[in-house]
Amino acid sequence: MESPGGARERLQIMGKILRQIIFTCLSIGLIAGCDVMMENRIGQNVRNELTGMGHKIEVKGTFSSDMGGGQAVLQDFAVGVNYGASDPRKDGQAVAEMPVE
């Protein structure tokens, strides 16, 4: 059976992939010249690059309630384990549940 940290790592990787897809779409103009809202944790170099592409940047505070809200559920049928996660800024939650026998 996989360690609990393995699921967390997969969710972190999924988040990184999603951020890269969004940044790539912005960078190559698939989402061109639009308003972009981001937290102040995003580096100034990224903000400058996006502004240079014509995007209007609105910077929010760290862990702003205007951002986030993602929830994820992963079912691993091979080992019979469900994993879940929820952004702590919103009202969702992932609750442990005992397996049905």
Please check whether residue 30 lies inside any domain of the structure: yes
Q: Indicate whether this model's pTM tops 0.85.
A: no
Whether 38 is in a domain gets the answer yes
pLDDT of residue 31: 63
What does the alpha-carbon distance between residue 45 and residue 40 come to, in Å, rounded to a whole number?
Answer: 12
Q: Please report whether residue 81 resides in a domain.
A: yes
Residue 98 lies in a domain: no
Cβ pair 87, 69 in contact under 8 A: yes
CB atoms closer than 10 angstroms to residue 36: 19
- How many distinct structural domains can be found in the chain? 1
Q: Are 53 and 31 a contacting pair, CB within 8 Å?
A: no
96 inside domain: no
Cβ–Cβ < 8 Å for 7, 74? yes
**How many helical (H) and strand (E) elements, i.e. helices and strands, does the chain have?**
2, 4
Write out the chain's pLDDT in tens, 101 residues. 455 566 677 777 777 777 777 777 777 766 666 788 888 988 899 899 888 888 889 999 888 878 777 778 888 888 888 888 887 777 777 777 766 66
Domain containing residue 17:
4-86
> Apex CA 69: angle with CA 89 and CA 12, to 5°?
95
